[in-house]
Chains A and B, each alone.
Chain A
Amino acid sequence: GAVVSQHPSRVICKSGTSVKIECRSLDFQATTMFWYRQFPKQSLMLMATSNEGSKATYEQGVEKDKFLINHASLTLSTLTVTSAHPEDSSFYICSASTGLVQPQHFGDGTRLSIL
């Protein structure tokens, strides 16, 4: 149980392109989903928290107009990196939780490479 699917697993695209990443909870309803960014050999950095049906809460320093988050249902959240540039290249990981005190379960991540 508690399977989180993230798609795509890898994206390579040109600078200026917008990229959408999907995060789905396959066997449970996720009231809260989280988006992280991870640089090589570093820990996970929380970008934003999204609750179904409401606006995402972004961490300090994360541009909400750059990283658009939509959490339209209890099983799907999307992260759109708008007008991506090489410095946006990174490993993006989502997680999902059924409630405030429940563990977060992670997707397998998306490797984004902007040329």
Chain B
Amino acid sequence: GQQLNQSPQSMFIQEGEDVSMNCTSSSIFNTWLWYKQEPGEGPVLLIALYKAGELTSNGRLTAQFGITRKDSFLNISASIPSDVGIYFCAGRGSETSGSRLTFGEGTQLTVNP
């Protein structure tokens, strides 16, 4: 089945630093999604990407859909303490796989004030 490799697994940074994380796949995805999950809560959608090469921003967050359709990255600029959480990438394959998502293993972000 489809698998996503998400890196890094964890990051410890100082407030104000920029953050970058990425996901790669062995197969092509038609949609890339980035979610943030805080303890005891469900994931919250941050950015959705639908076209290869697409670059989309949401405030201090920027994500890109790789041209090969096998990767995506998420950048967070000028991190703040409330950015703490687990960030998941998720990809959706061809229409034959329905609307199922494949999730990465997550990146645990810790921001030191």
Contacts and interface: CB of A to CB of B under 8 A. Distances in A.
Contacts of A93: 42-43
A6 B43 CA distance: 13
A111 B95 CA distance: 32
B28 to A, nearest CB: 15
Contacts of B48: 103
Contact of A99 (B40, B88, B99): B99
A103 B108 CA distance: 22
Nearest to B48: A103
Contacts of B42: 4, 6, 93, 95, 106-109
A84 B74 CA distance: 39
Contacts of B31: 101, 103
Contact of B41 (A102, A104, A108): A108
